[in-house]
Amino acid sequence: MAEQRVVIGIDSSTQSTKALAVDIDTGAVVGQGSAPHTVSGGGARESDPEQWWDALGAAVARTGWADRTAAVSIAAQQHGLVTLGADGRPVRPALLWNDVRSAPQAAELRAAIGTAELARRTGSVPTAAFTAAKWAWLRAHEPAAADRAAAVRLPHDFLTERLTGQAVTDRGDASGTGWWGGDGYDEDILARIGLDPALLPRVLAPGARAGTVRAGLPLRQGVPVATGTGDNMAAALGLGLLPGRPVLSLGTSGTVYAVGRSRPADPGGTVAGFADALGGWLPLACTLNCTLAVDRFAALLGRGRDDVEDGGTAVVLPYLDGERTPNLPAASGLVHGLRHDTTPGQLLQAAYDGAAHALLAALDEVLRAAGADPAGEEPLLLIGGGARGPAWQQTVLRLSGRAVQVPRAKELVALGAAAQAAALLTGESADAVARRWRTAEGPVLEAVQKDDDALERIGDTLRRARALQGAPA
């Protein structure tokens, strides 16, 4: 009987690290583990990278396969700024993707270079989320910390380097920095924000090996380590996503994306022209406020998260942490259209509607950027922590007018990383591995009539809110 071959895929997300041990041949999950992270509150969103490393060790150990895995790969939250000193230790806590303090620096970069030129050169128009804005913020507000930095990394870079000793990244995660131009680092942008390119990791080719596990670590020495990537790119791999198939992910953030053949360049900034973890592109729109914002409304109302009611005229824009799509980093939550007979359940449903609206409004632009027909009839793949919630499912069905498919596979980011690790051993592409594992299969919820009245109410309220903030309508 042939020996079972198992790989470990790791998802280091905003709030926790999850590890899956996966059988290379069948795709069966044979072990799993997780460990939490702590994130600061308030306007700042920071986390100690050492905590991620400790959580990685704990999560991997809990799979039961740390000493037997054949390969490993790490996916992690995008955009975070990790600054390391000469000793390889963090100079300060990492600035996370949802820290909006760098909004002024993002605006300065847009003004200095121009949105159309930035989109042409990097594929995206940077917001506060992008790493370039965060480095500019650090130089402006904590210059001593910036001066002590001997290396600048993204979260997955930091963890991969800890495993292998190699300063490397991949094109998918690099494309979310705002300083990578598709075929290399943009030295003009780096100069404008005062970042020496020598501090950055080398960008590996898709499918390359990052190195092997060093001695004395949670995993067995000598195990090959794949390039890893950002969390959205890993989820696309985990689905075995083919070009043009739309995905809506419901997590701490909300994203909608599709694989495309050519890099988009949206000067309006709605669509980020990210690279995927292979040789293609992953046009994507992202909101800061998704499942956590809706859960917060449920808590304020004293309701269960699925305890919603139809009807009513209320509109909720749940911008509890500012917002990225639309780009309103200083925004706060807004409730409009309350009546004497508005019920708590109707108000909670309005929070779901407001959170889903921004993503679905961007869906057509994402599909066009991917070279796909927005009127296509393929079901929308619904993934992430909220995907199995009945209220989320019904909200997406009602506001999209599309059929929705919910994959049975869980932890798709970790599965995508596992597919990368397996590809090192089998010679396949990572997305082909995931398709062989049949990760995207799951029930299809039939399309329902689109709720145009709700969409119009939300759109009108959003236009008024943008006008009050002085933002373009």
8 A C-beta contact, residue 230 and residue 156: yes
Q: Are strands 247-250 and 380-383 parallel, antiparallel or unpaired?
A: parallel
Active site residues: 231
Question: Which of 231, 227, 244 lies closest to 278, judged by CA?
Answer: 227
Structure tokens at 267: 């000067």
DSSP helix, strand, coil percent of the chain (3-state; round to 5): 35, 20, 45
Q: How far apart are CA 190 and CA 97, in angstroms?
A: 19
8 A C-beta contact, residue 312 and residue 346: yes
Q: If you write DSSP's letter for every residue of 378-427 in order, what string do you get?
A: SPEEEESTTTT-HHHHHHHHHHH-S-EE--S---HHHHHHHHHHHHHHH-
Question: Which of 400, 141, 427, 36 lies closest to 250, judged by CA?
Answer: 400
Q: How far apart are CA 126 and CA 132, in angstroms?
A: 8
Q: What's the Cα-to-Cα distance from 361 to each of 190, 271, 374, 449, rounded to whole Å?
A: 33, 11, 11, 16
My answer on whether omega of the bond before 326 falls inside 30° of 0, hence cis, is: yes
Residue 429's contacts (CB-CB under 8 Å, 6 or more residues apart) are 207, 278, 423
Question: Which of 249, 88, 222 lies closest to 164, judged by CA?
Answer: 222
Q: What element of type H or E holds 221?
A: none
Which residues are bridge partners to 81 per DSSP? 95
Q: If you write DSSP's letter for every residue of 124-138 in order, what string do you get?
A: S---TTSHHHHHHHH
Residue 193 identity (one-letter amino acid): I
Which residues are bridge partners to 332 per DSSP? none
DSSP 8-class letter at 100: G
Which residues are bridge partners to 297 per DSSP? none
Q: How far apart are CA 466 and CA 328, in angstroms?
A: 8
Question: Which of 134, 265, 278 lies closest to 204, judged by CA?
Answer: 278
Residue 410 identity (one-letter amino acid): K
